[in-house]
Amino acid sequence: MVFVNTLAGVKVLPKPVSAESSDSYKLSPEQLKFYDDNGYLVIKEFIDFASLYSYKQRFLQICKGIVPAGNIRVIKEPALAKQNLKPEDYINKLHEILYDDVFITYGEHPRMLSVLSQLIGDDITAVNSMFINKPPGGSRHPAHQDLFYFPFRPAEKIVGSWTAVDHVHYDNGCLFIVPGSHKAKQLYEHDGRKNTLKLYHGVDEEVLAPPEKQVQLEMSPGDTVFFSPYLIHGSGPNRTKTYRKAITFHFANSSCHYIDVSGTVQERVAKEIEALAEQKMGMKISYADTWRYKSRQVKGVRSNL
């Protein structure tokens, strides 16, 4: 029951109490254990509506050319881009968004930094960033491990966050995860996939991510999942007539160090990324340096990264 106070004939509703009102978020022992056991943790209503709205509007501003993309990489769905649609209908994602004044507020959100400090420590570097649109007809993202793309370690000091901007469900391509797949602490071979976007590599799903092991993460706007870089996960295609927007960052403790991926399962993707960087910038850049250039300190002191 809601009680209403009356002042000078005007109804005054009591101020609503929301989980979004606090700038900090303390993980419980049960949540920390769940994350350790399963490799992921969903926190409901973690990011406030005003922030979600600002991210969506920024995406639309870049889509429409109102705000220049600058160094942001605009990723298009090839099949959709050929159909003479408006940009929102064929742009799959914006990559490397952490130097944008609006998008970086996600990586620097006080509640985000509060949880990250509990998971990986107080010196935090944002190392990867995307706003994902997934328009109607948007493609499936095969099962993969994010660590496959990262040339720094230790993995235990890296965490991903993924926040639903729109309602996310099975039909519009929600995330699927394989709980506990991080426990082996093994980086598996990833193959390039046909009919997918560039750099969409995936593990052997029949062995490592069969349907019976997958958990579909249906999420409401603001819900956020934190996950280990070893966790096997992907997302389905968008079979609906609406968009499926989300924002995702990866963070690492700033004391993480770069490794040589030569002779490892990561060597192929390293060469692929170096080739793309050379094509974009007109000069050769090492795999490690491509990550240095697109990383940003969000809390504490930056050291190795």
Q: pLDDT tens for residues 119-167?
A: 999 999 999 999 999 999 888 999 999 999 999 999 999 999 999 999 9
Owning domain of residue 248: 23-299
pLDDT of residue 1: 33
How many CB atoms within 10 Å of residue 100? 21
246's enclosing H/E stretch is strand 246-253
Q: Is the pTM of this model over 0.85?
A: yes
In a domain, 224, yes or no: yes
Total domain count for the chain? 1
In a domain, 15, yes or no: no
Average pLDDT, the chain: 90
Could you read off the pLDDT of 10-28 as tens digits, one per residue?
A: 333 333 334 445 889 999 9
User: Is residue 37 over pLDDT 60?
Assistant: yes
In a domain, 86, yes or no: yes
In a domain, 9, yes or no: no
pLDDT of residue 195: 59
Which among 114, 109, 60 has a CA at the least distance from the CA of 87?
A: 60
In a domain, 16, yes or no: no
Q: Indicate the SS3 state at residue 19.
A: helix
User: Is residue 2 over pLDDT 50?
Assistant: no
CATH number at residue 225: 2.60.120.620
105's enclosing H/E stretch is helix 104-107
Q: Name the β-bridge partners of 122.
A: none
User: Is residue 256 over pLDDT 50?
Assistant: yes
In a domain, 7, yes or no: no
Q: How confident is the model at residue 5 (pLDDT cuts 50, 70, 90)?
A: very low
In a domain, 93, yes or no: yes
176-180, 220-224, 256-260, 274-278: the lowest-pLDDT one: 274-278
